[in-house]
Structure 1
Amino acid sequence: MPTQKVFRLHSRTSYRALNLHEEEIPSPDKHEVLLKVKSISLNFRDVAVSDGTYPFPVKDMVVPCSDACGEVVDAGTAVTNVGKGDHVVCTFDPTILYGAQRNWNNGFGGPMDGMLRQYIAVPAAAVVKVPTDAGVSTASWASMVCTGVTAWNCFYGNMPLRPGQTVLFQGTGGVSMTGLQIAKNAGAITIVTSSSDAKLQLVKEQFGAHHTINYKTTDWAQEALKLTGGRGVDYIIENGGSGTIKQSLAAIAMGGIISVVGFLSAAAQEDMPDVAGLALSKGAVVRGINVGSTQLLEEAVRFFGANKIAIPVDKVFGFSRDEVIDAFEYLTSGSHIGKVCIDLEK
């Protein structure tokens, strides 16, 4: 039987516990496709899975990572939506074709083996064909799985973003930079926060943010209110979690939407804000985002393909063990703007 290289996590202590294995290439069943993985995109979830801080189920000796773009190299007899040679991405949770995620038992790279390998068989119903003529790299398409769908879900999974509305993004990571591309192309006014003036300058010059705020030197909620004439912002992409939600509720407009996508800044228990009371005072929606369905993935791919825009990729690493570890280290350094990816053909 032909074999492939597969990374497995030997202990949930650190991404340094990742080791290479030689395993059989699977054969797809009648409803599956076999993908040759081209590019993998990393998320902070992958770091949390590796160091034991991910709060949801993780299988022993898991193959990490949920985000990949691959080429269909084999297909089951019942598959009709894609064929050999197509480049595709697969939903984070392949059991959710539409609607809300039902549980945490089926996500790649956690409760199920993920994408950090050369070949994977996945359900054909959960894959979406990506255009190859839009000038978008496979690394950028790989980033569509979690980052792209999460950002799309923030704006179009509930009440749709409208032209002229204002969106605030916390930080310059993948979801923020991807959301910035969506919001700009939807005609929204954009605000990005960061602790780095150099990053903010780059975000303004290269990515076209309308306004930037250094949250280390400025009360960003008050500055956001000033920028909106006291009205507040319509959407906030909340990456910090409990440590920043109080300021988000101060900056949000009446009836605005705060999409909680991360937990990078946890508050001490004694400092936890009264989220229920603050949300009530603004009539605001505080909405947890659990990536999204195949339907949302299809919509996001269609939007990015039609507009020929790409999810920003900061740096791409190779598939050797040393380079995979370097990719995780670079992600945790926080020095990136956009996504950190692994190219299996580099």
Structure 2
Amino acid sequence: MSTHTVFRFPTRNDVEDIVSVQEEIPSLSKHEVLIKVRAVSLNSRDVQVATSTYPAYVKENPIPLSDAAGDIVAVGTEVRDLAKGDRVVVSFDITHQYGPQKDFLTCQGGGVDGVLAQYIARPASSVVKVPASAPQSYSELASLVCTGVTSWNALYGNVPLKPGQTVLVQGTGGVAMTALVLAKAAGATTIVTSSSDEKLEFVRSSLGADYCINYSKVPDWASKVLELTEGKGVSHIVEIGGIGTIEQSLQAIAPGGVISVVGYLAGCEPAQRPDVPLLSLLKNCVVRGVLIGPRCMLEDLVTFVDGRKLRFHIAKEYSFTREDIVAAYRALQSGKHVSKICIVMD
């Protein structure tokens, strides 16, 4: 049987621990498809996996990364709705079809092997076909799997976003920038917070953000949000910082609004931790944890971005070599990018 190149982490102390190995191309069960991977995208979770700081289960010697787009090159005998040649993406959790995430045992790049390989075999039930009319590149499509579904879940998974509402996103990473694109496409007013004037100017001029706030210059950014919204607050907040930013978010949210907690990047001294139950009660708002989302949300997202012909900013694409893969991880760690970092196979 033919072989292909796979990257694994036999030890997980640093991103430099990644190694390239030659393995047999996976054989198929009757309900699986074989995908030639064309592009993968990185998330902060991937650095955590590489450095043994990820809080959930990770298998031994994993193939890393969870987000891939590619082409089907073979199908199992019982697969009916997918065919050779289809362009596809694969759900973050290969068994998660509907409802909330219950565990992490079958999440790619953690509980099961990930997608940093030339070929992957996956259950047909975990795969979403991309319409032939979709204009997005493979890198853009790969970026929909984790950050895309997280953003979709934040905006539509509980109280759906409505046209004319205001959405605030924190930072300029993948989730924030994907949520920005989705919110703009839905007819929402958008606010972006960041500590970098350069990044804010880029998202304003290139990605269409309506308002930008530099939180290093305006620490009480909630007051600025209330000023911009004439005291109403925002309907949705994509909360990246966690305990370090949640108090400002609770002050900026509109009564009845939704704060979707998708990250925990900002720390806070124990004595300064806000009274989240009291503040959320006073605002009559929802503070909701978002852990990616099921396959059905990925399918809805693919339909939406195809219908609106949305495009997503890719900060940089790296090649499928060990040197470039390590460089991609380092670029992600630096935090200097806007939106997504990807690796292309060809």
* TM-score normalised according to structure 1 size: 0.98
Question: How do 1:1-346 and structure 2 match up within 5 A?
Answer: 1-218=1-218, 219-345=220-346
> How far apart are the structure 2 equivalents of 1:46 and 1:233?
31
Question: What runs of 5+ residues in structure 2 fail to find an aligned partner?
Answer: none
Deviation at 1:268, TM superposition (A): 3.0
Mapped contact 1:144–1:311 kept (Cα < 8 A): no
> How far apart are the structure 2 equivalents of 1:213 and 1:132?
39
> How far apart are the structure 2 equivalents of 1:52 and 1:234?
36
> How far apart are the structure 2 equivalents of 1:56 and 1:267?
22
Deviation at 1:247, TM superposition (A): 0.9
Partner amino acid for 1:14?
Answer: D
> How far apart are the structure 1 equivalents of 2:207 and 2:156?
21
1:217-237: per-residue Cα shift (whole Å, max 9, x none)? Answer: 012111111111111111000
Give the SS at the match of 1:175: helix
Partner amino acid for 2:30?
Answer: K
Deviation at 1:134, TM superposition (A): 2.8
Deviates further, 105-114 or 270-279: 270-279
1:82-139: per-residue Cα shift (whole Å, max 9, x none)? Answer: 1001110011011111111121211000111100111111010111111343321000
Aligned length: 345
* TM-score normalised according to structure 2 size: 0.98
Partner amino acid for 1:127?
Answer: V
Partner amino acid for 1:293?
Answer: P
Question: What runs of 5+ residues in structure 1 fail to find an aligned partner?
Answer: none
Partner amino acid for 1:34?
Answer: L
Mapped contact 1:148–1:311 kept (Cα < 8 A): no
> How far apart are the structure 1 equivalents of 2:108 and 2:213?
35
Mapped contact 1:255–1:282 kept (Cα < 8 A): yes
Give the SS at the match of 1:168: strand
Partner amino acid for 2:154?
Answer: C
1:271-314: per-residue Cα shift (whole Å, max 9, x none)? Answer: 32211111111111011111011110000000001111122211
Deviation at 1:57, TM superposition (A): 0.4
> How far apart are the structure 2 equivalents of 1:121 and 1:268?
45
1:165-200: per-residue Cα shift (whole Å, max 9, x none)? Answer: 110010111111111111111110100011111111
Give the SS at the match of 2:206: helix
Deviation at 1:246, TM superposition (A): 1.1
> How far apart are the structure 2 equivalents of 1:279 and 1:95?
33
Deviation at 1:53, TM superposition (A): 1.3
> How far apart are the structure 2 equivalents of 1:267 and 1:51?
23
Partner amino acid for 1:238?
Answer: E
> How far apart are the structure 2 equivalents of 1:48 and 1:181?
26
Give the SS at the match of 2:154: helix
Partner amino acid for 1:133?
Answer: S
The CA RMSD measured in Å over matched residues stands at: 0.9
Deviation at 1:250, TM superposition (A): 1.1
Partner amino acid for 1:315?
Answer: K
Q: Return closer, same or farther for 1:260/1:295 CA change in 2, 3 Å cut-off.
A: same
Mapped contact 1:183–1:190 kept (Cα < 8 A): yes
> How far apart are the structure 1 equivalents of 2:115 and 2:272?
38
> How far apart are the structure 2 equivalents of 1:246 and 1:10?
40
Q: Percent identity?
A: 51
> How far apart are the structure 2 equivalents of 1:244 and 1:299?
30
Give the SS at the match of 1:207: coil
> How far apart are the structure 2 equivalents of 1:267 and 1:64?
30
Mapped contact 1:174–1:312 kept (Cα < 8 A): no
